[in-house]
Structure 1
Amino acid sequence: MKIQSWLKKYRNTLILLSGGFITIGLVAEYVFHFEKLAVWTLIIASVIGATPILYQAYQALKNKVISIELLVSIAVVGAFLIGEYHESAIVTFLFLFGAYLERRTIEKTRQSVRDLTQMAPQTALLLNDENEVEEVDIDFVDEGDRLLVKTGAQVPVDGVILFGEGFVDEASITGESFPVHKKTGEQVFAGTILTNGTFQVEAQKVGEETTFGKIIELVEEAQDSKPALEKFINKFSKYYTPAVILLAIVVYFISKEVRLAITVLVLGCPGALVIGVPVSNVAGIGNGAKNGVLIKGGEVFDRMNQVDTMVFDKTGTLTKGKTAVTKYVSFIEEDRELLDFVVAIEKESDHPLAKALVTFLNEQQLTGNHVVEQTNVLEGRGIQAQIGEQILYIGNERLLEEANVRWSDDIKAEIKAIKEAGNSLVLVATPTKLVFLFGVADEIRPEAKTAIAQLRKMGMKRFVMLTGDNPITAHAVAKQLGIEEVHAELLPADKVAEVKKLQQANHKVAFIGDGINDAPSLALADIGIAMGSGTDVAVETSDIVLMRSSFKELVHAYGLTKKTMRNMYQNIFIALATVIFLFAGLFVGFIYMASGMFVHEASILVVIFNGMRLIRYQVRERK
């Protein structure tokens, strides 16, 4: 371990020394014709350069791995023994310099993670019971603490604003360039910056549990994960490297030329092949993180690239999830008490339709100050609840049909008209009759139609909407967005069944959703894509997270995965073409050991720079 630590600490110094002695040797030989000085400086350069390579080869052999370093080591030792000091010195220097460039490039592609880490808040202004402010280390902040955030400061935790308001720059979380106005009762996230205003925040998530902390963790894990193509290349290189050694032995026995056999070993190094895919992988994930698209690992690129069908949840995905009551009908005369019961029941739900009802009824000075004694949530249908002696059903037509509640043909006609106008329907009934009818509209995301059209032009073949909403409303939304295939009135289990049907028909499916009821489908699909504003469980079970919950991010994610996979295949082609060119040149007679190593290292630089192009990738608008 001491040798390894020493070599790691001084590896850049060794490269400089090796290069310096090679320069002195070449100047001594070709300028001053001082042969002895040239030979000894090249010998020293060879020993300096070979030391870390030989050690790495030894460590790999201890783990029963035949590595690239072993190929170079055998070649360099052989060249050294037959007196080819120029080759042994130059080959070791080029190999070490190439490894140095690889390290620098990988570090550069990981800059997105480093930037995120540096942006993490370090301190917080803690308010005690006497409203006195104390600056504390972020590690000492607990859930429930009250914190003061001033203009220009970072929000230190995920929390809710207790008092005050201001404009918050959320670029570190969502990538959104414009500050967002935040007021009392709204959520704020760690790592964001209060550009104007002052507010107090109650801490809800701290440290690694914050959205910002999870983003850093996700990106770090993703960049360390390997795509299927990289795993294949690593497996291939295990067989390829011994094959090159065997080829060198065969060449020696046929030609009886040690120099030629050694050159085969040098030229056969699969350096560009091994480095090409990881560079593309890390650069692609870094680009995604910078543009608000969290890609959870290299394997996601390969699977997303194969997707031919995108399946969308409706509420909160194709629509904003910000619903409002557009139609209210009462079928009883004295309705305020029952409406107050509805408020009390719906206040306990986070469903967008429930929030719309509560907002609407609160405006009618109904507060819902009643104790809900019993509730029974019926998936995909609604809720049955009891307050005192009163039992109420709140949900869709399916719920009331199961409860044997009936209504007249006139009411059916009114219901149909509301649904045809693109409204979702909420019915309220007692065990004997329908009492209220609400039409609730959910605004379609303005960029969704354009994004779907662009995805279609980029090669996506099929778009499907799955929703628990009624068929008429679902088809009205789908028609506006250009989605031909719709399945409505689905329970979460029904959505899973639809995804399975598509997969059984040999489709590669990406499911895009945001709610708890979407989690099973997100997990089952070949690719699960979660809106970042969705629930934690949806984000956790997905493969890709769209932090701004924007369809532009979805288009970017799809384009980025296709571009990254194309980049990986380009790098593999460059690497293999270089090896073929070098061997052809060797046997024809215009490639030698040192020049071949130069071309080999140049090919590594080519695949590195090709991979780095992904860092600047942006989707072009298609017309």
Structure 2
Amino acid sequence: MQRFILSRKNQITLISAVLIAIAFTSKLVFHNEDIFLWALITSSVLGAFPIAIQAFQALKVKVVSIDVLVTIAVTAAFIIGSFEESAIVTFLFLFGAYLEQRTLNKTRSAIKELTEMAPESALKQMENGEFLEVEVDEVDVGDILLVKTGAKVPVDGTVLTGDGYINEASITGESLPVTKSRDSQVFAGTILENGTIQIVADRVGEDTTFGRIIELVEEAQDSKSEAERFIDRFSKNYTPIVLLLALVVWIISKDIELAITILVLGCPGALVIGVPVSNVAGIGNGAQNGVLLKGSEVIHDFSKVDTIVFDKTGTLTAGNPNVADTEIYADNVNEILGYIASVENESDHPLAKAVVEHIGARNFYAVEDTDVVKGGGIIANVEGHRVAVGNVALMEQENIHLNEKAREDIARFEQNGNSLVLTSVDGELKALIGIRDKIRPGVKEDLKKLKKLGVKNLVVLSGDNQGTVDLVAQELGLTEAHGHMLPEDKSEYIKGLQAKGKIVAFVGDGVNDSPSLALAEIGIAMGSGTDVAIETSDVVLMNSDFSHLPHALGLAKATANNMLQNIIIAVGVVIVLLISVFFSEWMNMSIGMLVHEASILVVILNGMRLLRYKLK
């Protein structure tokens, strides 16, 4: 019965409105007091049912909710014969709940839109080679799928054959199509706008990037900040206090109507709903713009950041370095280059990839006993030779003698802004390679926006040489620049900033810099939805677009301000209403409930403004 009544709340609200309209029409137009009275009584009883059920359910878990206050107030008003007020209060409370739910649903539009984008079917290659349409749940890792023009990519996968343009807005927030061809990565939920491709499934179901995004945004929207947890605790203690206050007023004044009015006016509804709706709307805006904010606590901390520390490669720079200068200190050039390419082929580091790409197709040698030196490079045995490939620190560790010419070359390479890759074979320096990475387009303007948003310190930390880092810092107008930094050095530097009272955000790639991402108040990952980026950081820029960072910070500040505005509105309305009870003639229970419900809608609509937020 309880479930049946609660499921019919909207219909009960409508019937109550009709009964109230009939009551006042019969009295004002036809002067019929009987219909007026019975219509109001019926409306009061009918409207009180769902409210009383919700109050009972709250009391069962030892919570004195707003429904409890309203139920007591309406029951008391009914007993003393204030049928007008009991009917109007129940209707306004139910109607307010209806409007509240509708507007809250709009603030969750980001989740709804993401969910609707989720693919439902796929063209799967069967054993006979034909492609048959199946439910997306029937696709397993390793299956070959066909994606046609206009269709959604059903899973995360790799292109086997064909090419086309894919709209990745559901993942990155960018609507410009991206070209995909053989060996390209594709993501579930994106749309093939042109072309036909076959893909092999790499991740399916909830493990896809798209599934992870939906899960992450849902968790973030349901998470609570310290402010929300405080409000929850406050409302649990506040509502019994209001109940006690009304009881004291009744005992002292003997005015039951005044006590009932206090119960209604003291409801903290706007306070309870104000902060969550701002949180939901802010996270929703971020999800629509390729920015994942992991919850209300993250938004609160991010809004107060005054120092942002950047990793250089792949963050401030494009992450696609190219070999710019080379010096070989040996006669057997091809053999040395072959050694270098063979060792670097063992690494996924961007500099290693640049070296292998530059050297090109050569005879790769068998590499044995590979030892990766963190922050230094790689040492390995190649054709019976000890080969070390890495930075100057690695050469010093290997006790490699650097003659005067080599030191001059190193200084010249650094002055040109190169990252250095040195190679020694059997204890002798054989090669020096200089690699340069271009600064991301538009980064300088984005950093200016961050400064306008209140970020006082912009710092770059990099494992590259100091000369290279200084050139980047000088071009971008950064506050500080530190090179030759190992991952643990970056972590120690961040600890030092925090010890000075700085609120630090760290921006990195989510892989090499995971300690720093975890240590900073806010870890921001540049990554196209990679697992490590999503799990390690607090904020994820889904398509590695640096221009989304100012939007993310501006959105966090706007959301935090919006939460504060809603708290002020909610508390202010309750204070004004309670003062009006004692110091005005016009305040009554019906007017109080109307103002109370209006304040709830005001804070919800104020929060919904965040859905349209754009950085000016």
Q: Same fold (TM over 0.5)?
A: yes
Aligned partner (choices 309, 312, 320) of residue 311 of structure 1: 309
The answer on whether the counterparts of 1:516 and 1:535 sit within 8 Å (CA) in structure 2 is no
CA 1:130–1:433 in structure 2 vs 1: closer, same or farther (change >3 Å)?
A: farther
State which of 74, 84, 88 in structure 2 corresponds to 1:90. Answer: 88
The TM-score with structure 1 as length reference comes to 0.97
Alignment-mate amino acid for residue 458 of structure 1: L
Residue 7 of structure 1 corresponds to: 5
1:132 Cα offset (Å): 2.5
- 2:542 is aligned to 547
Are the aligned partners of 1:513 and 1:529 in contact in 2 as well (CA < 8 Å)?
yes
2:420 corresponding residue in structure 1: 425
Q: Does 1:393 align with 2:388?
A: yes
Whether the 8 Å CA contact 1:160–1:203 is kept in 2: the answer is yes
2:480 corresponds to which of 482, 485, 493: 485
2:585 match: 589
TM superposition shift of 1:46: 0.5
Give the equivalent residue in structure 2 for 1:601: 597
Matches within 5 A, 1:22-37: 22-37=20-35
Q: SS of 2:217's equivalent?
A: helix
Runs of 4+ in 1 over 3 A off after TM superposition: 128-131
Q: CA deviation at 1:412?
A: 1.0
Residue in structure 2 matching 1:107, options 102, 105, 108: 105
Alignment of 1:176-575 (within 5 A): 176-362=174-360, 365-368=361-364, 370-533=365-528, 535-575=530-570
Q: Deviations over 1:228-279 (max 9, x none)?
A: 2111111111221112112112221222111011101111111111111111
For 2:95 and 2:351, the matched residues in 1 are separated by: 62
1:162 equivalent among 160, 164, 172: 160
Q: Deviation at 1:173?
A: 0.6
- Contact between 2:510 and 2:537, CA under 8 Å: does it hold in 1? no
Q: How far 1:223 sits from its partner (Å)?
A: 0.8
2:144, 2:198 within 8 Å by CA — same for their partners in 1? yes
Structure 1 residue aligned with 2:54: 56
Structure 1 residues 81-120: Cα deviation after superposition (integer angstroms, max 9, x where no partner): 0000000000011011111111111111111111111111
Task: Encode CA deviations 1:571-614: one digit per residue, 9 max, x unaligned.
Answer: 11111111122122221222111111111111111111111100
Which among 137, 140, 148 is matched to residue 138 of structure 2? 140
Q: C-alpha separation between the residues in 2 aligned to 1:561 and 1:216?
A: 20
Q: Which amino acid aligns with 1:289?
A: A
Q: CA deviation at 1:371?
A: 2.5
CA distance in 2, matches of 1:405, 1:134: 62
Write the distance in 1 (CA, Å) between the matches of 2:123 and 2:96: 48
Partner Cα distance (1:229, 1:260) in 2: 32
- Determine the C-alpha separation between the residues in 1 that align with 2:460 and 2:528: 20
Q: Is 1:614 equivalent to 2:610 in the alignment?
A: yes
Q: Is the 8 A contact 2:290 2:543 kept in 1?
A: yes
Deviation of residue 386 (structure 1)? 1.3
What amino acid does structure 1 have at the position aligned with 2:221?
Q
Return the letter of the residue paired with 2:293: I
Which position in structure 2 is the counterpart of 1:78? 76
| 2:533 and 2:540 in contact (8 A); partners too | no
241-250 or 78-87: which moved more? 241-250
Secondary structure of the 1:570 match is helix
Amino acid at match of 2:323: V
Structure 2 match to 1:122: 120
The aligned amino acid for 1:19 is A
How much is the aligned-residue C-alpha RMSD, in angstroms? 1.3
Q: Say if 1:534 and 1:324 are closer, same or farther in 2 by CA, change over 3 A.
A: farther
**Unaligned segments of structure 1, at least 5 residues:** none
Contact 1:218 1:296 survives alignment (8 Å): yes
1:12-51 deviation per Cα after TM superposition (whole angstroms, max 9, x unaligned): 1111111111111111112111111111111110011111
Return the alpha-carbon distance in structure 2 between the equivalents of residues 192 and 32 of structure 1. Answer: 63
Quick check: 1:155–1:192 contact (8 Å CA) kept in 2?
yes
Query: Which residue identity does 1:123 align to in structure 2?
Result: S
Matched residues in 1 for 2:39 and 2:249: separation? 31
CA–CA distance in structure 1, aligned partners of residues 100 and 363 of structure 2: 64
Number of residues of Structure 1 aligned to a counterpart in Structure 2: 615
Deviation at 1:426, TM superposition (A): 0.7
For residues 59 and 588 of structure 2, what CA distance do their matches in structure 1 show?
A: 28
3-state DSSP of counterpart to 2:472: helix
| Distance of 2:315 and 2:236 partners within structure 1 | 45
Query: How far apart, in 2, do the equivalents of 1:534 and 1:318 lie?
Result: 18
Q: How many Å separate the matches in 1 of 2:399 and 2:206?
A: 50
Residues 128 and 433 of structure 1, relative CA distance in 2, 3 Å threshold: farther
Instruction: Give the Cα separation in 2 of the matches to 1:537 and 1:136.
Output: 31
| Matched position secondary structure for 2:513 | helix
Q: Give the SS at the match of 1:443.
A: coil
User: For 1:270 and 1:617, how far apart are their aligned partners in 2?
Assistant: 28
TM-score by length of 2: 0.98
What is the Cα deviation at residue 358 of structure 1?
1.1
User: Quick check: 1:171–1:192 contact (8 Å CA) kept in 2?
Assistant: yes
Q: Secondary structure at the match of 2:200?
A: strand
Task: Give distance in 1, aligned partners of 2:438 and 2:142.
Answer: 34
CA distance in 2, matches of 1:111, 1:367: 56
**Contact 2:385 2:426 (C-alpha < 8 Å) held by counterparts:** no
Alignment equivalent of 1:173, drawn from 171, 174, 194:
171
Q: How far apart, CA to CA, are the structure 2 residues paired with 1:134 and 1:366?
A: 44
The one-letter amino acid of 1:329's match is: E
Q: Which runs of 5 or more structure 2 residues have no equivalent in the other structure?
A: none
Q: Secondary structure at 2:547's aligned position in 1?
A: helix
